[in-house]
């Protein structure tokens, strides 16, 4: 396999804000002892892997992320109307409950806390902790809703080319539903987004053991990652923008990770239809950090069928081939002449049948050495005309096509069942398993350093 070219390594190193330890090319990529690729996988990496043994992040216990199927259809959240699909699904929709559920409680009052934002109680955790819902609006009529549980973005409402609003991010109806289970819809993922092989790494000769909550590997921060905490929130509003600052402190030893990590994630919406996510973290002992947001998108509207007709451009000419458990095999590989190539726009569905299981891969972003906030992806949904462009300071993006969605997660009082490929994720990240790969950009954060990254989603319409 070829090494990562020097220019790419330099670009990635330059971007590791406040982090050190980005070493040069080489390495055998086996530090984390991933499962050995089959011969076929070596030849056609993107095509030959199967799903991880435990079906990934569709955990088994209802208390974790699988919906409790014994429950009656979800109740619409007070203040948040069920959002029926804007266009009918392409394929025969699964059987729905005949009537959407009616709200049984009085809606919680909305408190206006600024010219462009309001706040209301969203629900209560089993221990009584209140979870708030913040609604941000802008002068162009866009809305972003987020809750303090997991920092989950529950709605991004944007107009189509006829001005019709739809929520274009996959959501659940209530806190109760989010607590019953969901595959990381809209949440903050940490300490480490994506996988760490065999749930272990070594810092300064000391081995740290993490939960193996995804087959043999550690996924998205473990059993109780940052997506399952209520974050401390404070509103911010300025000229042309409004937002929420979310804070969380993860104690030393949390989920097996060393060091007390103080994390701040700030979401803001401005009048240019930009949703900005800013991540800051500091630690008191060396530890590994890789934060992201895990929103699933369907620019036709959540629940409006699959996303295979979306046209995608990824500003990446390399990706990481993975083994059967979705751990990188080693060095990045060129997308040229493979179904992984989105360097020029094409529909997500155009070659997805040649990628076993669907896309779930880390793409390494192109950027010039002095470019901090580089273009990562551009997506167009041809029917609605809605567009989304992503820029980021992070070195890579995980493109995931909702392969593990299977219709068991519902919304809109049961009127929506999220079937396979009903949403896609573009998670801006470091590479998977970096703690065990000295040749990848380093995710090590040391005391005195600051992890600082920005990702901006810009929404629009194409006429
Ligand atoms: C990430 C992973 C996927 C899957 C989803 C959650 O995007 O790469 O494999 O685990 O999270 O279901």
Stretch 179-192: mean pLDDT, rounded?
Answer: 97
Q: Find the range with the poorest average confidence among 72-76, 131-135, 233-237, 283-287.
A: 72-76
* Residue 130 confidence class, pLDDT cut points 50, 70, 90: very high
pLDDT value of position 105 = 60
Mutate to test the pocket of ligand 1, among 67, 192, 402, 404 (most ligand atoms within 8 A of CB): 404
Span from the CA of 389 to the centroid of ligand 1 (angstroms): 21
Strands 360-364 and 296-297: unpaired
Q: What is the pLDDT of residues 371-402, one digit of tens each?
A: 999 999 999 999 999 999 999 999 999 999 99
Stretch 78-98: mean pLDDT, rounded?
Answer: 36
Mutate to test the pocket of ligand 1, among 400, 405, 423 (most ligand atoms within 8 A of CB): 400
pLDDT value of position 113 = 87
Q: Which ligand 1 atom lies nearest to the CA of residue 58?
A: 12
Lookup result for tokens 């959501």: 171
pLDDT value of position 2 = 32
Catalytic residue among 157, 381, 389, 427: 427
pLDDT value of position 88 = 35
8 A C-beta contact, residue 328 and residue 434? no
Where does ligand 1 bind, in terms of residues with CB under 6 Å?
56-57, 183-184, 194, 219, 326, 360, 398, 400, 404, 425, 427
pLDDT value of position 115 = 80
Stretch 275-291: mean pLDDT, rounded?
Answer: 98
> What is the signed CA dihedral for 286, 287, 288, 293, rounded to 10 degrees?
-120
Catalytic residue among 182, 220, 288, 294: 294
8 A C-beta contact, residue 89 and residue 305? yes
427: annotated active-site residue: yes
Task: Give the C-alpha separation, 20 to 47, whole Å.
Answer: 34
Span from the CA of 316 to the centroid of ligand 1 (angstroms): 20
The overall average pLDDT reported for the chain is 83
Q: What is the pLDDT of residues 135-178, one digit of tens each?
A: 999 999 999 999 999 999 999 999 999 999 999 999 999 999 99
pLDDT value of position 108 = 85
Task: Give the C-alpha separation, 292 to 443, whole Å.
Answer: 13
Angle at 243 between CA 238 and CA 249, to 5 degrees: 125
Q: Percentage of the chain with pLDDT > 70?
A: 77
pLDDT value of position 83 = 39
Span from the CA of 327 to the centroid of ligand 1 (angstroms): 12
294: annotated active-site residue: yes
Residues whose CB is less than 8 angstroms from the CB of residue 307 and which lie 6 or more positions away in sequence, other chains included: 297, 298, 299, 300, 348, 401, 402, 421, 422, 423, 424
Span from the CA of 463 to the centroid of ligand 1 (angstroms): 33
Q: Which ligand 1 atom lies nearest to the CA of residue 425?
A: 7
pLDDT value of position 104 = 52
Higher-confidence position of 260 and 12 = 260
8 A C-beta contact, residue 455 and residue 274? no
Strands 318-319 and 360-364: antiparallel
Stretch 345-371: mean pLDDT, rounded?
Answer: 96
CB neighbourhood size of 195 (10 A): 28
Q: For the chain, percent helix, then strand, then coil, each to nearest 5?
A: 10, 35, 55
Mutate to test the pocket of ligand 1, among 49, 52, 57, 421 (most ligand atoms within 8 A of CB): 57
Can you give the C-alpha Rg of the chain in angstroms?
21
Span from the CA of 110 to the centroid of ligand 1 (angstroms): 34
**Is the pLDDT reported for residue 224 higher than 70?**
yes
Stretch 321-325: mean pLDDT, rounded?
Answer: 97
DSSP symbol at 180: H
Q: What is the pLDDT of residues 6-37, one digit of tens each?
A: 333 333 333 333 333 333 222 222 222 223 33
């Amino acid at each position: 396999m070829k090494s990562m070219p020097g220019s790419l390594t330099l670009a990635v190193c330059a971007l590791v804000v406040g982090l050190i330890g980005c070493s040069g090319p080489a390495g055998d990529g086996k530090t984390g002892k991933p499962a050995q690729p089959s011969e076929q996988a070596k030849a056609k990496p993107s095509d030959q892997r199967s799903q991880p043994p435990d079906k990934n992040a569709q955990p088994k216990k209802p208390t974790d992320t699988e919906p409790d199927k014994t429950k009656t259809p979800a109740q619409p959240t007070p203040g948040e109307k069920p959002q029926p699909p804007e266009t009918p699904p392409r394929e025969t929709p699964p059987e729905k409950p005949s009537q959407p559920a009616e709200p049984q409680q009085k809606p919680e009052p909305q408190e206006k806390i600024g010219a462009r934002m309001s706040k209301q109680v969203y629900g209560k955790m089993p221990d009584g902790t209140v979870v708030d819902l913040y609604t941000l609006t802008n002068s162009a009529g866009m809305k972003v809703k987020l809750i303090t549980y997991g920092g989950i973005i529950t709605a991004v409402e944007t107009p189509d080319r006829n001005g019709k609003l739809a929520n274009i991010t996959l959501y659940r109806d209530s806190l109760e539903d989010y607590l019953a289970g969901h595959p990381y819809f809209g949440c903050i993922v940490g300490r480490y987004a994506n996988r760490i092989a065999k749930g272990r790494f070594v810092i300064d000769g000391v081995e740290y053991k993490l939960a193996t909550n995804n087959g043999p590997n550690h996924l998205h921060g473990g059993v109780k990652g940052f997506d399952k905490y209520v974050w401390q929130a404070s509103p911010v509003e300025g000229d042309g923008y409004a937002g929420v600052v979310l804070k969380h402190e993860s104690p030393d030893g949390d989920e097996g990770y060393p060091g007390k990590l103080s994390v701040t994630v700030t979401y803001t919406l401005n009048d240019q239809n930009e949703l900005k996510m800013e991540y800051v973290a500091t630690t008191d002992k060396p530890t590994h950090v890789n934060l992201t947001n895990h929103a699933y998108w369907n620019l036709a509207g959540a629940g409006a069928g699959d996303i295979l007709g979306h046209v995608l451009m990824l500003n990446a000419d390399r990706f990481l081939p993975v083994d059967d458990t979705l751990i990188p095999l080693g060095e990045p590989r060129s997308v040229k002449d493979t179904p992984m190539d989105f360097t020029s726009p094409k529909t997500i569905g155009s070659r997805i049948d040649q990628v076993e299981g669907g896309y779930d891969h880390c793409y390494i972003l192109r950027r010039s050495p002095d470019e901090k906030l580089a273009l990562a992806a551009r997506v167009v949904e041809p029917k609605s005309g809605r567009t989304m462009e992503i820029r980021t300071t992070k070195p890579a993006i995980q493109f995931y096509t909702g392969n593990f969605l299977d219709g068991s997660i519902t919304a809109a009082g049961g009127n929506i069942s999220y079937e396979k490929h009903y949403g896609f994720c573009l998670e801006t990240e470091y590479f998977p398993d970096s703690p065990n790969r000295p040749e990848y950009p380093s995710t090590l954060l040391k005391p005195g350093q600051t992890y600082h990254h920005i990702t901006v989603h810009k929404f629009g319409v194409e006429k």
